[in-house]
Amino acid sequence: MKSGFVSLVGRTNVGKSTLMNTIVNDHVAITSDKAQTTRNLIQGIYNDEDTQIVFVDTPGIHKPVSKLGNKLNSQAYYSLNDVDVILFVVDASVPFGPGDKFIIEKMKKETETPVILVLNKIDRISDDVLFKKILEYKDLYDFVDVVPVSGMKNDNINRLIDVIKKYLTDTQKYFMEECTTSSPMEFRIREIVREKILHLTEEEVPHSVACVLLNYEELQNIVNISVDIIVDRDNIKKIIIGKQGSKLKEIGSLARVDLENLLKKKVYLELYVKTMKKWRSKEKYLKELGYDIFHE
């Protein structure tokens, strides 16, 4: 039996959460094409006959413009040294950028942990381009290995797991085998609602949204759930509600399908949209909204 912790770090949008979901075969972290989808450290647990790997998904590292932004970065850095291996995930279908360079410099300064370069989204590029990418990245850092994958298409994931296994140092199980994540149900519920907002709105909306679980009541045949959607401006509130409530209705029905899958029961979901000015820069609200649960 081998076990250990592995963190996924990289720029926003490179596909860290998608990759982790594929590895653990469950939707434990929400994903979207918007920047900064992940806001917390999220553990995804992988099991096979002789191995347990705890993956730690992190918020994409970026230039912070608010207290929330700072918090997200500090969580990502925090996961560099407490793990057996780091997966540095890059999007192989876009050029190497200042964001990647910034993270490489950070890793050079702040960690001795082995780093595997994961070239993701190879479903979007030719073998020729992939070969060039490998050469381009190889000399930038002393990576212990390079593994091209497609998290979305489940391509070459077994190879990645085999490589990770070489660096695991523990021999004990941390979680029961049925667990795919350590996140509390309350967190998973509000993240599902936030994911649907990310999917159904445009770029300006997502960053100003946080979700809070107001009520969870499990009856014999149904679960009653209410979630507050907190935004920092009234015009964002209008966008989320939509014409005659149409957008909010759409968000609600998509979220309900996922919640019913998660809870294996019928769900009655109520959503309320509220404005709370500048919540992203108010320490107190960040705490209330659950943004430092791994730091205390």
Ligand X SMILES: Nc1nc2c(ncn2[C@@H]2O[C@H](COP(=O)(O)OP(=O)(O)OP(=O)(O)O)[C@@H](O)[C@H]2O)c(=O)[nH]1
E strand intervals along 10-149: 42-48, 51-57, 85-91, 115-120, 145-148
Query: Which is nearer to Mg ion, 28 or 267 (by Cβ)?
Result: 28
Q: How far is the CB of 31 from Mg ion (least distance, A)?
A: 6
Name which of ligand X, Mg ion, none residue 223 binds, using a CB cut-off of 5 to 8 Å depending on partner kind: none
Query: Which is nearer to Mg ion, 16 or 194 (by Cβ)?
Result: 16
Query: Which is nearer to Mg ion, 22 or 37 (by Cβ)?
Result: 37
Query: Which is nearer to ligand X, 198 or 273 (by Cβ)?
Result: 198
Q: How far is the CB of 97 from Mg ion (least distance, A)?
A: 18
* Residues engaged in binding ligand X (CB under 6 A): 12-18, 31-33, 35-38, 59-60, 120-121, 123-124, 150-152
Name which of ligand X, Mg ion, none residue 15 binds, using a CB cut-off of 5 to 8 Å depending on partner kind: ligand X
Q: In what order do the strands lie in the sheet with 222-231?
A: 209-218, 222-231, 266-275
Answer yes or no: are the C-beta atoms of 169 and 84 closer than 8 Å. yes
* Pick from 285, 295, 291: nearest CA to 69: 291
Describe the crossing of helices 234-241 and 246-263 by its angle, rounded to 10 degrees. 70
Q: How far is the CB of 38 from ligand X (least distance, A)?
A: 3
Residue nearest to ligand X (CB): 60
**C-alpha–C-alpha distance, residues 149 and 267, integer Å:** 36
Query: Which is nearer to ligand X, 157 or 267 (by Cβ)?
Result: 157
Q: How far is the CB of 230 from Mg ion (least distance, A)?
A: 20
Q: What counts of helices (H) and strands (E) characterise the chain?
A: 9, 9
* Residues engaged in binding Mg ion (CB under 5 A): 16-17, 37-38
Q: How far is the CB of 112 from ligand X (least distance, A)?
A: 24
Query: Which is nearer to ligand X, 32 or 75 (by Cβ)?
Result: 32
Name which of Mg ion, ligand X, none residue 152 binds, using a CB cut-off of 5 to 8 Å depending on partner kind: ligand X
Alpha-carbon distances, residue 289 vs 97, 279, 286 (angstroms)? 32, 9, 5
Query: Which is nearer to ligand X, 17 or 43 (by Cβ)?
Result: 17
Q: How far is the CB of 159 from ligand X (least distance, A)?
A: 14
Name which of Mg ion, ligand X, none residue 113 binds, using a CB cut-off of 5 to 8 Å depending on partner kind: none
E strand intervals along 65-187: 85-91, 115-120, 145-148
Helix (H, G, I), strand (E, B), or coil: what is residue 239?
helix
Q: How far is the CB of 37 from ligand X (least distance, A)?
A: 4
H/E segment holding residue 166 = none
For 250, the token pair is 């759409």
Name which of Mg ion, ligand X, none residue 33 binds, using a CB cut-off of 5 to 8 Å depending on partner kind: ligand X
**C-alpha–C-alpha distance, residues 9 and 291, integer Å:** 18
Name which of Mg ion, ligand X, none residue 73 binds, using a CB cut-off of 5 to 8 Å depending on partner kind: none
Answer yes or no: are the C-beta atoms of 122 and 130 closer than 8 Å. yes
Name which of Mg ion, ligand X, none residue 290 binds, using a CB cut-off of 5 to 8 Å depending on partner kind: none
